[in-house]
Structure 1
């Protein structure tokens, strides 16, 4: 379903409910997404569908005008329940915030994803609009990271930091094309080498692909179904990686908290072979896997 009129930054109102996006996503869509992000079938092995297959830009583009050059700068997701792939998917879209910072227009949308009546995901997507504005900077700056980037101040077992297995891959155009097609992140900077090379030196990797790989790492501390029932992940996209570069995602487990369920707190950094950091993230999720429970919670 498409909106007749897409809102621009100027016409957004903070707190406004934009409407419900009714997607055509089905079991085939989630299988295709899983094949792209987990081609060796090493992660989603318990029948759980990858929930981020529903957290795409399709709903955003249905309501919001995204001028060429709009940057997806931050993403935060709280998982509530595994997706029910045999149920229709809907996304409630709200304007969480709009602001001016350092002469740039920013906005954040809240997307509440449902499969059937099940609330699957609460996602906050932040964007920076291209160009400069003479409007004064906003007086307040709201955070939508679930407190994860300041979680180091919370009580918990702060043992020695332990680096978890890194993830490494080469950015290739076929990946950008396939991932862009299923997530609506198929803009020219990701798919048109002529346009992207002029600005970045090559087509650039979608930040949400790195977000998905960080989410996959968190499943290994428990299971896909447990992580996608209660995990939280917040990320900042701080740079770009282009075709031909090798990207390494470095996860670090830095804290364990005990309660009814043991949780592990992790940080992530994605670096390119050229030495640039392009992505940083913080996450918290259940810790039940025997391998990590013995190593981290002791």
Structure 2
């Protein structure tokens, strides 16, 4: 006599339910995947193709040249100098943003008069246009009538020609970039500081820990996920910084402020060389991808969660 099993009746129903769930999943993910494919993945693949052709945006034909554009780029000393300048700009900008942002966050986390107003003032440059910020700072840097020159004149000093002197041009760009983006780091740090349990500080005080020991053993480990997130996003943002450089120095003087993304603009929209511009875009993408992978695989191991 055959035995009855309830699974025999439920099995078709489970299959139909799984099919409905998969259909619902496809309906939800399909539009997003389509948009990503059209506006992200396809341009990326097409850019790789453009890096292997010779095209000036005008000719109807695009002769395939293989790796000749890559060979020409990697054999050009100017290209390697631009990579070095991009690294210099990124290291200093990210480092100053993270360190100064943390110090400001620690200050604005105290019970201060008009604390909320100060937080709003610090964050305001983040939402401003980069071009507008650069125009304002170009007047501040003016060696004859700028604010910096007026302040230095009180102690008998003269302001350097920030945006024309090759020695001071890169520091000027870094100063403006940090000033514009430090508010974002401050807000993220403040959110992390307010999520650190107060019981940890109380326990540290009971154990006799001073202010420095509490900062080193409680605050920094509690902020490590925040610092990791900011380091990743800040590095990616630095590699894409364009508007400030375009308005402040236009890549000069003598290419000292030319970064990879600005070099991409020069090749693509000034020289109209799609092939060489494609090479720079591919190199920029690979560098950003490699840095992100290294950060996620190795730096994140030092992060303390929970």
TM-score after normalising by structure 2:
0.22
Greater Rg, structure 1 or structure 2?
Answer: 2
Question: Hey, which of these two has a bigger chunk of helix by percent?
Answer: 2
Greater RCO (CA < 8 Å, at least 6 residues apart): 2
TM-score after normalising by structure 1:
0.22
